[in-house]
Structure 1
Amino acid sequence: MSGAAPSDLLAAPLGLPATVVADLYRAACLAELDALKPGNVHGFAPGHRMGVADFVASADVSASSLAEAGARVGRRVRGGVEATFAAVGQNTNLGILLLCAPLARAAEEDGPLTERLRAVLEGFDGTDSRDVFAAIRRANPGGLGTAARHDVAAEGPVPPLLAAMAEAAPRDRIARAYTDGFRDLFEIGLPALAAARQRGLAPPWTTTAIHLAYLTGVPDSHIARKHGPERAEAVRAQALDRLARLDLAEAPVEALLAYDQELKQAGLNPGTSADFTVATLFLDALLAARSETP
């Protein structure tokens, strides 16, 4: 007889119940709102015709779908989007749900989270494709546009989810996450959070540190969709020049709010950076609840 030794089985991380996953998801969404994130909606200032209350409500009503025990990724995303529209009537969390749904499904299963996440990303079926495409059409995110292949708005058969994500990956970092094992979370988000904690920062400044790592590290896909890739890269470079030298330990609210107002007046919303910030907080909380390290 072969198999893992009893000690190995005892050491394997155990899956989390749906109630815990839902609570951690909701907490990640709310923690992101507490942080000053230039250009995005947060507790220090509204923006883009949305307020914090919209996102608080969205987190609350989407949590049960996001954490539905045994549900496939597509069902979680679609259910979350539909609940959000019923509550607030607009798209506030499609990107968050797309990033957090695979993490939630992986976290409810026994075994190392990174291994379970890989299995989830490799195990999509036709129902996932139909549900995710339906959710995207319902949310109708800004700047979606059209694609030569696997266009979400096109009539006809729904393509495999990973094929559609691979097609969009060069222009959308959330789609790319589905094809590269959520690399940005592990290589940008979690290291930024760990570094902020090592410096002695406390929330919400640890969350601001995550957001700034994405904002200054990679062009924001939401800005790229609405304003073009060149503008997205220009914002990244500008943010690096304006913000990278700030000491968050000094709580530089005035400097961050000044840049926040500048971005909002120009209609620039680094929404993908905010989505990845939520997902980073959620992943960190899931790992901690399962007593794992990344």
Structure 2
Amino acid sequence: MANLNKDILLGTAIGDALGVPVEFEHRQELGKNPVVGMREYGTHNQPKGTWSDDTSLALCLAESLCKGYDLSEIGNNFVKWYYEGYWTPHGRVFDVGVTTARAISYLQSGCKPELAGMDRERDNGNGSLMRILPLVPYILNMEVEERYKIIGEVSSLTHRHPRSILACIALCEFAIQYINQQSCEKAYQTMQQILLQLLKREIFIEEDVPFKRLVGLSYNEFKAIELKDIRSTGYVIDTLEASLWCIFNTSSFKDAVLKAVNLGDDTDTVGAIAGGLAGIIYGYDTIPSEWINVLARKDDIIELANRLDAAKG
């Protein structure tokens, strides 16, 4: 776990880049012509190795954490990304979610960062879940309540509904518990215990139905969910479930991210999150070199991870 920042940042970027050319393609189409490596052009007409808003915003978060935790600074980086092309692969934004774009416009006009995010039930896309994993090394050794507070604030920059916040807590806690216990099954079980406790709190009391499978199914039952019952849409619960399911049903970085991308629909985000988790589990050095070699701004991403390491040290 010495290279946790590289594991997460490179894993996220690679999974995202694999998914960008086939975003919105249906599962049936990908079944006939599955993604087996880096493609170019496709949905967004981008060169091979290009990552999307998922990785850009994750890198904006990571960049800010080099100086410590400052929610306003993270928000400023999001604004610079959207309006100036900061931490984009090729100098301009080509993909952004509606909820995220609206929240960033509020940030740009001076809204308090903790209030910028949308909080309606319809605002539960995966736009905060997709960028949350770089928090993990920073909050790893904090008290649990402090972890929950920071995760909630960082989600709320764009996604302030309790469901999105709880999904971000679930993902980060799964990652933290894996780091601590080195077992997907044990990490999942501990995550379930955390969710069950949090669902009793007033803020999350109405979220039991969306999290029904994640708290109600054992590890083996969740792992055994049939492909047809895994949804890979942009809805935050679908994305969280799909990412974990891909991790549980594979045994290498390569297989995890390819399974994620070939689910179809929101391929870049499911790929990015599965990639971040797979990076933690298998290490960035297990990522195929032919993928790393074509990754946009790979040296900049590695340099950022090194700066994060130095900041924590």
TM-score normalised to the size of structure 2?
Answer: 0.38
Structure number, greater radius of gyration: 1
Q: Answer 1 or 2: higher relative contact order, Cα 8 Å, separation at least 6.
A: 2
TM-score normalised to the size of structure 1?
Answer: 0.40
